[in-house]
Structure 1
Amino acid sequence: MTSRRTALKWTAGLAAASLLPGAALRAAEPLKVGFVYVGPVGEAGWTFAHDLGRRALEAAFPGQVKTTFIESVPEGADAERVIRNLAQDGHRVIFTTSFGYMDATLKVARQYPKVVFQHATGFKTAANMGTYDVRTYEGAYLAGVLAGKTSKSGNLGVVGSHPIPEVIRNINAFTIGARSVNPKASTRVIWVNSWFDPGKERQAALTLIAQGADVLMQNTDSPAVLQAAQEKGVFAFGWDSDMTSFGPKAQLAASEIDWSVWYKKVVGEVLAGKFEPKQQVWYGLKEGAIDLGHLAASLPEDAKKLLAERRKGVLDGSRPVFQGPLRDQAGKEVVAAGQALADKDKLAMNYYVEGVQGTVPGGK
């Protein structure tokens, strides 16, 4: 698998009390919790955000939890070996944080039915294996609002990783947010077909800037896009975590994921002997799992006010991100006026909305 995330499958939750370590474990040594990372922890991005969640987990349960993480684990056979080693070493809860770990996680989960497995962004489940994800499109939409407010040219750019529904969803949300402020705004996309490749990410960002983009977003993991924006005097956003230190003049804000919301909930319930697998979890602004933070000091007050209004609209449901009337780039209506796109349709998104240039590789 080349992608770590994809569309999600909704299924009913299953109770599984037999999975739980229970009071005997709590009375003995700390609960061992393992994490498998697709990239290096570094100082920003996807894996860094997961590691912040791991650290917050340890801080929330001092003396009760002992965590282990394995970084830069390739998606494939090696992942299965790493996951199995964690289970054999007594880890009672294991979080695998990349889509390409899905099959390996499922295989090991079936071999260790008393271990709790949680897989990020996948769709396959088992009695002791659930999946979890974050509504990153909500952060992308809010970033788009600021982009539309800030851009002088109306030309925006996105460095995309893999053309899967999650990334397409984020590009569309970003564009919808921008066009809600500037109806003439448009977005160019360059795909690098990698989650973490600083060289390709930088080159894509420089190309977008050369094509006239003055605000960039990314759905990749390194700070290379922000660094390129800083170098060329345009704006960009931190992605998955704050990236201010890599481009203090360029970062308008950061779309930040807080994985600790889910990590603390799962582990807290396991420690209390009350955990029941939720077969699919998709958290967002409402749960505190995603938000647009670290706003640039240079942002004018009217931009901050507008952002607060749009954020409230997403939270209270009065202004959902994918609300009608909404058309794809060919002009076909995909959401009628007064309606909002259903989750199942968000999860299968394979088209660009109006305002996105080009075509989706392998899509419509």
Structure 2
Amino acid sequence: MKGTMLRKTLYALTAASAVALASPAAAEPLKVGFVYVSPIGEAGWTWQQDIGRREMEAALGDKVKTQYVEDVPEGADAERVIRDLAQQGNQLIFTTSFGYMNPTIKVAKQFPDVKFVHSTGYKTAPNVATTNARFYEARYVAGMLAGKMTQTKVVGYVGAYPIPEVLQGINAFTRGLRSIQPDAQVRVIMVNSWFDPGKERDAALALLDQGADIVTHHTDSTATVQAAEERGKYAIAYHSDMSKFGPKAQLGAVTHHWGPYFTKEVQSVLDGTWKSNQVWGGFKEGMVALEGFGPAVDDELKTFLKQQEDAIAAGTLNPFAAPIKDNEGKVRLADGALDDKGLNAMDYYVEGVVGKLGKN
């Protein structure tokens, strides 16, 4: 009898163990890492990326756990940080600056089971996707805003580096400006940095000294908007709404929105459906916007700008429709509209931009 009871007890224990083994343990959260090129701060490119990270966390709850490293220089430091995040068990890593492209590709080869998404680059791999926003679409409408508001017909533009992404913005802004003011000009100073508030401020002040009554920027800090506020001039912010730093100066802000995209990518990893791809979204996809309008922009002008935004989203207005001439008079496109290949190979200033590439 005892033997029978013992056998039953052992059987019950064995069966319970089998059930326990067959039952999945509570799923561990997916670890997701982010590499930021500048401090998060209170505005700018990295600030907007971090808003996207937090929106993704809010959407997915305890299914995800994120970590980030901010203010990571492009180059060797980036490679080290990306590798460290992979070694810490992050299964998806977002590398959020153009100069992280080659380090991302290199580390991805060493960690084939980790997924990577690189922002603003063009190189992919089986475990590396790329994403970008069509910043130039909102830049074109921002140029129209500047065209409606400028008195001197001179607009200043603080740029980071003369790469296609930055040139697309300068050229689209200029074409939008000149669609309103055909003889207006854009003066550009490149600071050769994504984030250097001191250089950005000096460049903005120099442009204001050259007669600009509106300044804008493709850099990360709020320095350009603050310089305009100090001088009693206007500014169009970039990356995020910077009205806190220029309540009278800011006419509007070209902003980027990453939360839905980050959420979609993370969810696809959770679902086991993630694939390397290249996403480039604009107004239509909700990845760019012109918002944060200041007190100087009335409702009539806001309505006009929204109409242009809707036309771009619908495909009836193209910021780079022919004819396109560079600022030396050479025809760059005679018919049609610039395609993505042409946009990503842009290496010139359009008509209306003062100066030559590489020279301030």
TM-score by length of structure 1 reads 0.90
- DSSP 3-state at the match of 2:51: helix
- DSSP 3-state at the match of 2:130: strand
- DSSP 3-state at the match of 1:228: helix
The answer to whether the Cα contact below 8 Å between 1:26 and 1:271 also exists between their aligned partners in 2 is: no
Specify the code of the residue in structure 2 equivalent to 1:153. Answer: T
- Deviation track 1:35-54 (CA, whole Å, cap 9, x = no partner) reads 01111000111111111110
- DSSP 3-state at the match of 2:332: strand
Distance apart, 1:27 and its partner CA: 4.8
Q: What is the match of residue 210 of structure 2?
A: 211
Q: Equivalences for 1:111-130 in 2 at 5 Å? A: 111-130=110-129
Q: What is the match of residue 344 of structure 1?
A: 341
Residue 312 of structure 1, aligned match among 296, 310, 314: 310
Could you tell me which runs of 5 or more consecutive residues in structure 1 were left unpaired when the two chains were aligned. 1-23
Q: Does 1:258 align with 2:254?
A: no
Q: Measured at CA, do residues 28 and 100 of structure 1 come closer, stay the same or move farther in structure 2, by a change above 3 Å?
A: same
- DSSP 3-state at the match of 1:281: strand
The answer to whether the Cα contact below 8 Å between 2:282 and 2:313 also exists between their aligned partners in 1 is: no
- Deviation track 1:59-110 (CA, whole Å, cap 9, x = no partner) reads 1101111100001112222222211121111111001111222222112111
Q: What is the match of residue 355 of structure 1?
A: 352
Distance in 2 (CA, whole Å) between partners of 1:354 and 1:26 is 63
Distance apart, 1:335 and its partner CA: 2.3
The answer to which of 122-131 and 214-223 deviates more is 122-131
Distance apart, 1:184 and its partner CA: 1.3
Q: What is the match of residue 268 of structure 1?
A: 267
- DSSP 3-state at the match of 2:192: coil
- Deviation track 1:284-327 (CA, whole Å, cap 9, x = no partner) reads 11111111111123312332122112111211111111012221
Specify the code of the residue in structure 1 equivalent to 2:329. Answer: G
Distance apart, 1:261 and its partner CA: 2.7
Distance in 1 (CA, whole Å) between partners of 2:230 and 2:76 is 40
- Deviation track 1:234-258 (CA, whole Å, cap 9, x = no partner) reads 1111110110100000001111001
Q: Equivalences for 1:146-225 in 2 at 5 Å? A: 146-225=145-224
Q: What is the match of residue 14 of structure 1?
A: none
Distance apart, 1:26 and its partner CA: 9.6
The answer to whether the Cα contact below 8 Å between 1:324 and 1:336 also exists between their aligned partners in 2 is: yes
- DSSP 3-state at the match of 2:66: strand
Distance in 2 (CA, whole Å) between partners of 1:81 and 1:311 is 41
Could you tell me which runs of 5 or more consecutive residues in structure 2 were left unpaired when the two chains were aligned. 1-22
Q: What is the match of residue 65 of structure 1?
A: 64
- Deviation track 1:171-220 (CA, whole Å, cap 9, x = no partner) reads 11111011111111110111111111111111111111111100111011
Q: Percent of aligned positions with the same letter in both sequences?
A: 53
- Deviation track 1:7-40 (CA, whole Å, cap 9, x = no partner) reads xxxxxxxxxxxxxxxxx99951111100011110
Q: Does 1:91 align with 2:77?
A: no
Distance in 2 (CA, whole Å) between partners of 1:88 and 1:313 is 46
Specify the code of the residue in structure 2 equivalent to 1:292. Answer: L
Distance in 2 (CA, whole Å) between partners of 1:27 and 1:293 is 43
Specify the code of the residue in structure 2 equivalent to 1:150. Answer: M
Distance in 2 (CA, whole Å) between partners of 1:328 and 1:290 is 26
- DSSP 3-state at the match of 1:246: coil
The answer to which of 300-309 and 216-225 deviates more is 300-309
| RCO higher in structure (CA 8 A, sep ≥6) | 1
- DSSP 3-state at the match of 1:330: coil
Distance in 1 (CA, whole Å) between partners of 2:73 and 2:151 is 41
The structure whose residues are more often helix, as a share, is: 2
Distance in 1 (CA, whole Å) between partners of 2:231 and 2:36 is 32
Q: What is the match of residue 76 of structure 1?
A: 75
Distance in 1 (CA, whole Å) between partners of 2:147 and 2:343 is 23
> Which structure has the bigger radius of gyration?
2
Q: What is the match of residue 19 of structure 1?
A: none
- DSSP 3-state at the match of 1:244: coil
- DSSP 3-state at the match of 2:289: strand
- Deviation track 1:253-291 (CA, whole Å, cap 9, x = no partner) reads 11100112321110111112222221x221111111111
- DSSP 3-state at the match of 1:190: strand
Aligned residues: CA RMSD: 1.5
Distance in 2 (CA, whole Å) between partners of 1:341 and 1:103 is 27
TM-score by length of structure 2 reads 0.91
Residue 333 of structure 1, aligned match among 331, 334, 343: 331
The answer to which of 131-140 and 25-34 deviates more is 25-34
Q: Equivalences for 1:9-88 in 2 at 5 Å? A: 27-88=26-87
Q: Measured at CA, do residues 268 and 175 of structure 1 come closer, stay the same or move farther in structure 2, by a change above 3 Å?
A: same
The answer to whether the Cα contact below 8 Å between 2:125 and 2:276 also exists between their aligned partners in 1 is: no
- DSSP 3-state at the match of 1:324: coil
Distance apart, 1:333 and its partner CA: 2.1
- DSSP 3-state at the match of 1:247: coil
The answer to whether the Cα contact below 8 Å between 1:157 and 1:216 also exists between their aligned partners in 2 is: yes
